[in-house]
Amino acid sequence: MSTINKSARFPPLNTLRFIPANASLPEGYNTWPFDQGFFYQQVRLDFQAPANYFQKVNSSDMITIYFDCLATSVNILILDGDSNIVATLVTSLVYTDSATGNLDPDFGDQYYTYIYQFSPSDIPLDDGFYYVAIQSIYAGDTDPLTNTIFVAECIQVMNEGWNNTILLEYSNDTNDYDVFWEPISTPQPWAFRVEAYLDIDPTFHDVEFEGQRYVVNKLQSVPYRFAKFIVGGNAGVPPWVLDKVNRIISCDNFTIDGVQWKKEPGNYWSFKVAQDYPMKAGTITLRDNPSNSEWIFSNKSDPGVFRIHDDTFDDTHD
């Protein structure tokens, strides 16, 4: 009987971090690779303080699951802490598409792309801790527990919403970061919630002309904002969370609680690490886009009158 190739690939841009459910360390190895094992398994207990982390999820958050797999259908389940099935999200999910040339490098098999989105409120889920599990279904498989089940890091669902968190929403204009954004119908944007906040500072860029008598004339002044994007705070987050955020802000488009930002050119992460503590905080400088108007009023003669606005408009004041 021929061997079944059971390969699957999960881009780090997924809302959740997935690992093989039956992964075990090879004999003689004492540390887990960065993309294997739960976070608590990656903690080096011989010299680091014990730590665990639960990904914060509001019940209304959209969770995107995207992966390439050689299986022709998959099941997606939600488990509790005792591995009991709480909900079956979908059974025998058929692949969204297959991108020509997306082949396994070892066997030449064609990968299929699976995309699934859900919110905990759709089920609905009570406040608590849950795991999302994916089971790949292979034709002729007589050993379904061998490298076919993937499980996500634990999520903690809160129906009233998590304080001191922000929601990152993101998409990309071209195929990149191991995601086929086009031509496959990939829903956008994706989302990821994390313990973070913005420390905003105003600044400006002036263009000036200095005359012969040293008289300065302003030609243009563009106000905009810098923001220190601080992820992790005092308690910190696991390295995989910072890795995911770093990839998210590398996308062409990302918002922080609905506001669009860009990475400040030439700026890099700085990290705050406590000795023997496996979690850390990261800070990077962002800027808003001064070329984008903060509001747009169509067919209105004096939009500058309205400093604060919403999407409703009362024509009686024209």
Indicate left, alpha or beta for 276 from its phi (over 0: left) and psi (-120 to 50: alpha): left
Give residue 318's pLDDT: 47
CB 283, CB 236: distance < 8 Å: no
CA distances 60 to 121, 256, 285, Å, are 6, 16, 29
* Predicted pLDDT of residue 303: 40
| Dist. CA 148–CA 145, nearest whole Å | 6
Report d(CA 295, CA 255) in Å as an integer: 16
pLDDT of residue 293: 55
DSSP for residue 70:
S
User: Can you give the pLDDT at residue 141?
Assistant: 77
Q: Where do the domains of the chain lie, and which CATH numbers do they carry?
A: 8-161 (2.60.40)
pLDDT tens for the 318 residues of the chain, in order:
467 778 888 999 999 999 988 788 889 988 888 888 899 888 887 788 878 899 999 999 999 999 998 888 899 999 998 989 999 999 988 887 666 667 777 777 888 899 999 999 999 999 999 999 999 888 777 765 555 889 999 999 999 999 999 999 999 999 899 898 887 778 889 999 999 999 988 877 777 777 777 777 777 777 878 899 999 988 899 999 999 999 999 999 999 999 899 999 999 999 998 888 999 999 999 998 655 555 554 444 444 444 455 555 555 544
What pLDDT sits at residue 99?
64
Q: Tokens 């995309």 label which residue?
A: 115
Residues in CB range of 308: below 8 A, 6 or more apart: none
Q: Are 136 and 74 in contact (CB under 8 A)?
A: yes
CB atoms within 10 A of CB 282: 22
Q: Name beta bridge partners: 150.
A: 20, 134
Alpha helix (H) residue ranges in 134-265: 239-248
Distance from C-alpha of 290 to C-alpha of 302, rounded to nearest angstrom: 20
User: What single-letter amino acid sits at 41?
Assistant: Q
Give the pLDDT confidence score for residue 233 in this predicted structure.
83
